[in-house]
Chain A
Amino acid sequence: MSSEVFKDATRMSGGRASDEAIVAMEGVYKRFKDFEALKNINFQVGKQEVVVVIGPSGSGKSTLIRCINRLEEHDDGRIIVDGTELTTDVRNIQEIRKETGMVFQSFNLFPHLTVLANIALAPRQVRGMPKSEAEALARELLERVKIPEQADKFPAQLSGGQQQRVAIARSLAMKPKVMLFDEPTSALDPEMINEVLDAIKQLAQEGMTMVVVTHEMGFAKEVADRVVFMADGEIVEVGTPSEIFDNPKEERTQKFLAQIL
C-alpha cells in the first residue's frame, strides 16, 4: 500500500510543479526507543507547493516536519532538501537549515531581544548581513505581517497572534526556499487565529513553498494544493483538498474526518 501512496504523492506533486522537488523523503523511519514515530514515509514537496498535513495527535505530523530541518534525526531512509541530502555532516545540516524556515506552535521568540533584533539576528549572524541592512529587512517584513509599529517592543509585550507573526517574519528574514509550520495556531486564543492564518495565506499566494501541520480544516481546504493525512506514523492518504475532505478513500481518513467535522 505504501508504494501506492508514494506513486500517488509523486503524481500529485508532478501535476503542479514539475519534478523539481524542494523536499523529498524516501522510506524515512524515525524511532523513539521502541516507538515507531514515522514508518516508511515517502513524500515530496514541489516548488511553490502548499502541502497541509493533518491527522490525529500522536500520528507523527510534527515529527515529520521536524525531520526536514533536522530538529529530529531520522533513523532510516533519505531526506533531500533543495538537492542536499541530510546526513550527519554538520555543514549539510547548516546548509539545509538556512534554506528552511520553521514556525513553532509556541512561537519561541527570543524574549531578551526586541522584535526588530529577533528578526535581524539570523540574517546578521548567519548570512553576515550588515546591521543597517538587516534592520531594514526586518522592518520591511514587519510591514508584510502588518505590525510595523511593534518593532521596538519586546516579545512579552505582544499578543500571541502578534508574536506568531513576528515568528513568521523572523523565518522569512532568512529568505528560505521552504517554510515549515508546526501547528502555528494551536497555542493561540480563537480571536487571534485568523490574523496568523491570513499571514500564512498571503505567503502561499506569493508562491512560497510550504508544509503546514494544522488542525484548521477550513484553512487546509482553502490554501492547500495537497492534503496529507497521517495516522500512526504513516501517510495514509494524499490528495487534493476536495479528494480528501469530500471523498476520502481510506477508512481511517473517513473516521478522523467524521470526528472533527
Chain B
Amino acid sequence: MTVVFGYVGLWVIWTVIEFVFVTGRWEIIQVNLKLLLVGRFPDELMWLVGASLTALAFWVAAVAGGSKIDLNNVQTIPQRLFDYTRRFGLIVALAALLIFLAADIAALLLAFQVLGGVIVGRLVGLARRKVSVLGAIPSIIWHPMLGSPAIALVLVTLMESTLEEWGGFLINFYMAIISIVLCFPLGVLLALGRRSSFPIIRLVTTTYIELIRGAPLFVLLLLAGVALEFFIPPSIAPDAIFRGVTVFTLFTAAYLAEIVRGGLQSIPKGQTEAGKALGLSTTKITYLITMPQALRNVIPAQIGQFISLFKDTTLAGAALNILDVLNVGTAITKQQDFLGQGLIYEALAFVALLFWVGSYVMSRESQRLEKRLGVGVR
C-alpha cells in the first residue's frame, strides 16, 4: 500500500515539476501578464492601482501593528526574520516572480511603493500603542479612519474605468475586498437581528438569511445579471461589477450572520448576567462583552467564509461577463500566437497560483490572529 502510494506520489510530483520547468510554455503568461493582472487598464490611470494597493497595505499593516502583543514572548531578531519569512515569504516570492515576468521597472517601483505602505502602516500601528493620545481613540473610530482611504481608492479604481477596459486578477481581488468590508457589519447586524427580542425583526432577518442560504451563489449572480432589467431601465442600471459586489456582500453576510450567531450562542449566560448586575445596558453588554468574545471564537469560520468569497469571485466572471482573471486566462489561449496549442493548462495553473497564495496567506494569518487574541482564553 505504502509502496503504491509512494509511486503515485512521486509520479505526480515528477509530472508537476516537469510541467513547471520543462514542458510548460510560460511565455503565454509573460506576454499577457498585464492583461491577467489588470486587464486593459489605461496606463495613465495606473497610479490609481498603485495608490489603492498602497493604501490597502498601509491599512492592513497598521491594524496588525496596533494589535496587542504578548509581552512575555519577545522574539529575537533571527526568530523574527524566520517568522516574517514564514508569514510573508510566499507573497514576496509571488511578487518577485511577477516582477521578473513583467521585467518592467514600473512593476518594481510599485512593489516598493506597497512595501513603503506596509512600513508606514506598521509605524502608525506601533505609534498608537506608544502614544497615549492616539491610543485614546476608540477602535470603532480608529479602524474606519485608517481604512476609509483604502476603501475609497479601491472603489474609485473599480469605478474609474469602464467594463471593457479593465479586468484581470485585480478585479477579483478588489471585488472580494469591498464585499468583505461591507458584508462584515451587515452579517453582525443580521446575527443580532436574529436574536432580537422584537419578533418582526427576527422574522425579517431569519427569512432573509434562509432565503439567501437556500440559493446557489451562481444562480444569484445570474439573476443579478438579468433580473435587474425587469425593474430598472438598462440605461441607468448599475454595471456588472457593482452587481457582483452586491450579490457577494448579501450572500456572504447571510452566512456570516449564522457564524456570528453561533459565536454569540457559545458565550455563557453568566457573562450577560455579570454585565447586567453591573448596570450595563443591553447594547453595551453586546458591544463590550458578548460580541468581542463571540467574534474571537469564530475567527476560523469567518476567515473561511472570506476565503470562499475571494475564490468565488471567479463565478462573477462567468455569470456577469466581467473580464476577471479566469475569463482573461481562457481568452488569451485563443490569441493568434497561442491558438490551438493547448496552453489552457498554463493559463489555469497561473490563475490557481494567484488564488492559492492569497487564500493561504489569509488562512495562516487567521491562525495567528486566533492565537494572538487567545491570550485571555477561558
Residues of A within 8 A of B (CB): 69-71, 94, 97-98, 100-102, 104, 106, 108-114, 121-122, 125-126, 131, 154-157, 167, 170-171, 174
Query: Can you name 4 extra interface pairs (CB under 8 A) apart from A122-B279, A122-B280, A125-B288?
Result: A70-B276, A97-B276, A110-B271, A154-B375
- Bound Cα distance from A94 to B281, whole angstroms: 8
Q: Which residue of chain A has the shortest Cβ distance to B269 in the bound complex? A: A108
Q: Which 6 A-B pairs have the closest CB atoms?
A: A154-B376, A108-B274, A108-B270, A122-B278, A102-B277, A97-B279
Contact A106 B281 (CB under 8 A): no
A residues in contact with B284, CB < 8 Å: 125
Whether A156 contacts B378 in the complex (CB less than 8 A), given A98-B279, A125-B288, A174-B279, comes out as yes
Q: How far is the CB of A113 from chain B (nearest CB, A)?
A: 7
In the assembled complex, B195 has its CB within 8 A of some CB on chain A? no
Residues of B within 8 A of A (CB): 136, 268, 270-271, 273-274, 276-281, 284, 288-289, 292-293, 296, 373, 375-378
Contact B376 A97 (CB under 8 A): no
Contact B293 A69 (CB under 8 A): no
Q: How far is the CB of B350 from chain A (nearest CB, A)?
A: 42
Q: List 12 A-B contacts (CB under 8 A).
A: A108-B268, A108-B274, A121-B278, A122-B278, A122-B279, A125-B284, A126-B279, A131-B136, A154-B375, A156-B377, A156-B378, A171-B278
A residues in contact with B376, CB < 8 Å: 111-114, 154-157
Q: Which residue of chain A has the shortest Cβ distance to B295 in the bound complex? A: A112
Q: How far is the CB of B84 from chain A (nearest CB, A)?
A: 27
Whether A112 contacts B293 in the complex (CB less than 8 A), given A121-B288, A154-B376, comes out as yes
Whether A171 contacts B277 in the complex (CB less than 8 A), given A111-B378, A156-B376, comes out as yes
Cβ-neighbour of B271 out of A69, A94, A108, A170 (below 8 A) = A108
Contact A108 B296 (CB under 8 A): no
A residues in contact with B375, CB < 8 Å: 154
Q: How far is the CB of A223 from chain B (nearest CB, A)?
A: 22
Q: Which residue of chain B has the shortest Cβ distance to A70 in the bound complex? A: B276
A residues in contact with B281, CB < 8 Å: 94
B residues in contact with A69, CB < 8 Å: 276-277
Q: How far is the CB of B123 from chain A (nearest CB, A)?
A: 25
- Bound Cα distance from A125 to B378, whole angstroms: 24
Q: Which residue of chain B has the shortest Cβ distance to A93 in the bound complex? A: B276
Q: How far is the CB of B268 from chain A (nearest CB, A)?
A: 8
Contact A108 B273 (CB under 8 A): yes
- Bound Cα distance from A125 to B287, whole angstroms: 11
**Which of B268, B270, B279 is the most central at the interface, judged by chain A CB atoms within 10 Å of its CB?**
B279
